[in-house]
Structure 1
Amino acid sequence: LIAQPVWLQQGWMHVKLTFVVLLFAYHFKTHHIFKQLQNDVVKWTSSQMRLWNEGSTLILFSVVFLVILKNSINWIFGVVGIFVLAIMLMLGFKIYKRYRTKKNEE
């Protein structure tokens, strides 16, 4: 941004910086969860922790996607695609959890 301050006038950079701020918030929340676990306070189920783990992957993928493809395609469709990917991941976890529960009952 120091070398190319004109990027701050572009929409994709605002979205990218928003994702970077989300990544910082994710990091601080993860540290909070870690401190709770150190004190034997378990508030999250294993399924919730699996979903939480995918959050950083989606955020980092979003940042890289916006930087690499900012001029190739309309980045708004890319961001929508990332949210669709997130929804598909959540549905995949739900389906896997049901499958695992049924298999354990047998």
Structure 2
Amino acid sequence: MELYNYIKSLHLIFVITWFAGLFYIVRLFVYHAEAKQKAQPEQDILIKQYQLMQYRLWYIITWPSAVLASVFAFWMLFFTEVGNVWLTQPWMHVKLAFVFLLYLYHLKCHQIFKQLQNNEVKHSGNFFRIWNEGATIILFAVVFLVILKNAINWIYGVIGIFVFSILIMMGFKLYKKIREKNQNR
């Protein structure tokens, strides 16, 4: 059981650093997209700096954290008695569905990262602000599932995530109005 607690601790540490990387990389995407609107030479200077920051964050923190979080998760689930029990429980199936969504989110961020590294800006800063909330929604869902260990009430969780998403979007729109008002001063 002591080994299991070490594995779980390492898993949690790398999940935290993985999410930190995902949150920050998308924030850098926002800045990168907005730098495209700047005049020269500021645009080139900023984009070069953001590309470097994105590269380091993505390959030194985010990808290694994702891999290590996954390794320790698989270890817990498939090589411990507790994990074998959890795999039979409905809440874990729902949690693993959200983890699958997290992998898809990560891979889409990787695709965007590669585009930005090649100076292909296909989305606006506003798009990236909204995109950044995807990881937040997944984080909320996974934490509540793990803590409550209840998939029967998942419908309440889905409703809660939906309401939370609406609140985030309303906050985003309010923030956007405030920014536009301050820029017009």
Fold conserved (TM > 0.5)? yes
Aligned partner of 1:60 in structure 2 is 139
| Distance in 2 of aligned mates of 1:74 and 1:39 | 45
1:103 lines up with 2:182 in the alignment: yes
| Distance in 1 of aligned mates of 2:106 and 2:154 | 25
1:23 lines up with 2:78 in the alignment: no
1:70 lines up with 2:176 in the alignment: no
1:32 to 111, 115, 121: 111
Shift of 1:27: 0.4
Aligned partner of 2:42 in structure 1 is none
Length, aligned pairs only: 105
| Distance in 2 of aligned mates of 1:8 and 1:86 | 29
Secondary structure in structure 1 of the residue aligned to 2:123: coil
RMSD: 2.0
1:83 to 134, 138, 162: 162
| Distance in 2 of aligned mates of 1:102 and 1:96 | 10
Unpaired segments ≥5 residues, structure 2: 1-76
Q: Which amino acid aligns with 2:141?
A: S
What TM-score do the two structures reach when normalised by structure 2? 0.51
| Distance in 1 of aligned mates of 2:153 and 2:111 | 36
Shift of 1:70: 2.3
Q: Which moved more, 1:75-84 or 1:31-40?
A: 75-84
| Distance in 2 of aligned mates of 1:22 and 1:15 | 11
